[in-house]
């Protein structure tokens, strides 16, 4: 059995903990029933655990406990294309993989709501998990229970990611964020998050630069990402519609017209390299399909 789970980008500048988009980059998990658990890893994250402390196995075991079934040991071949700890939802792919494996291996009739309850124990941020499960662009709200809306994301926008060669843990990225904010900063983000949704639905891309301005997380996390300030400036100078941290960072996402893609890619790469940071450039597109078997 082979499961493909898409990467995700979240926050979109002003949509902190709210906006999430599935991407055309996948981690693949191959499951084969066995007498004992074991893991083989290819691609990114070769230093991830290959024993029962592997995140996929831990989530699978917890899902079995929640859904009332006995775990069936398996051999897992984990083919990672999503760089870990870069703000592209690598851990979310593993969590989705563990939950979906439980449902499939035990032929359970379990809906998204119940799968998410297990997933949230390991990752409390729905903007990471929901698009990995369902695909597309989602707006997530937690109001006692999860409420989300799935919207089309423009296919004529190119998504460019500059992925630095260093990791940034979610814990470190969270630790620098203020727990209380001024009313004017809350209003600032509400206005721009609303504008972002309007801009993508009406294709008024000239509004995106304003729409991704943020006062909740990016100014604080920018200090943890060497080269980000320069990438922001150079990306806009090269004609990008929007430039912002992907998730918690350190990856940087730029939205631009397809015809301007190479210019923006070069600007992002050059700005990081001038700070002594090597980056990998990924050109991705929205993924409308969530995790799937095949």
- Per-residue pLDDT tens for 67-88? 999 999 999 999 999 999 899 9
- pLDDT value, residue 44: 93
Choose the CATH number for 157-284 among 3.40.50.300, 3.30.70.890, 1.10.260.40, 3.30.499.10. 3.30.70.890
Residue of 178, 169, 184 lying closest to 217 (CA atoms):
178
Compute the average pLDDT of residues 95-114.
97
- Per-residue pLDDT tens for 127-158? 999 999 999 999 999 887 899 999 989 999 99
Per-domain boundaries in the chain: 2-151+287-293, 157-284
Supply the CATH classification number for the domain 2-151+287-293.
3.30.230.10
What pLDDT band is residue 271 in, cutting at 50, 70 and 90?
very high
- pLDDT value, residue 145: 85
Detail the residues annotated as belonging to a binding site for ATP. 83-93
Is the pLDDT at 170 greater than 80, yes or no? no
- pLDDT value, residue 47: 87
Distance CA 213, CA 177 (A): 16
Ramachandran quadrant class, 13 (left: phi over 0; alpha: psi -120 to 50; beta: rest): left
The residues, ordered by sequence, that sit 6+ positions from 150 with a Cβ below 8 Å of its Cβ are 134, 135, 136, 137, 138
Q: Which residue has the tokens 């399909």?
A: 289
- pLDDT value, residue 142: 87
- pLDDT value, residue 10: 93
Distance CA 220, CA 215 (A): 9
Detail the residues annotated as belonging to a binding site. 83-93
Is the pLDDT at 121 greater than 80, yes or no? yes
Of 54-63, 103-112, 135-144, where does mean pLDDT reach its minimum? 135-144
């Amino acid at each position: 059995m082979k499961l493909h789970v898409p990467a995700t980008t979240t926050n979109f500048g002003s949509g902190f903990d709210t906006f999430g988009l599935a991407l055309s980059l996948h981690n693949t998990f191959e499951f084969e029933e066995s007498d004992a658990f074991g893991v083989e890893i290819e691609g990114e994250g070769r230093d991830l655990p290959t024993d029962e402390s592997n995140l996929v196995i831990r989530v699978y075991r917890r899902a079995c406990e929640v859904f009332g079934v006995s775990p069936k040991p398996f051999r897992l071949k984990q083919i990672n294309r999503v760089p870990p700890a870069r703000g592209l939802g690598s851990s979310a792919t593993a969590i989705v993989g563990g939950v979906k494996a439980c449902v499939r291996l035990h032929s359970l009739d379990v809906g998204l709501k119940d799968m998410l309850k297990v997933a949230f124990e390991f990752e409390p941020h729905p903007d990471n998990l929901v698009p990995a499960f369902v695909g597309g662009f989602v707006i997530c709200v937690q109001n006692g229970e999860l409420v989300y809306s799935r919207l089309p994301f423009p296919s004529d926008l190119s998504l460019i990611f500059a992925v630095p060669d260093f990791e940034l843990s979610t814990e470190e990225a969270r630790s620098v964020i203020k727990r209380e904010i001024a009313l004017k900063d809350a209003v600032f983000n509400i206005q721009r998050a609303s504008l972002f949704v309007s801009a993508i639905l009406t294709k008024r891309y000239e509004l995106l630069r304003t729409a991704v301005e943020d006062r909740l997380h990016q100014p604080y996390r920018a200090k943890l990402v060497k080269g980000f300030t320069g990438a922001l400036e150079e990306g806009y100078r090269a004609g990008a519609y929007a430039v912002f941290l992907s998730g918690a960072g350190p990856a940087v996402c730029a939205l631009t017209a397809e015809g301007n893609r190479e210019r923006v890619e070069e600007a992002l790469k050059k700005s990081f390299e001038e700070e002594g940071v090597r980056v990998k450039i990924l050109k991705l597109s929205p993924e409308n399909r969530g995790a799937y078997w095949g």
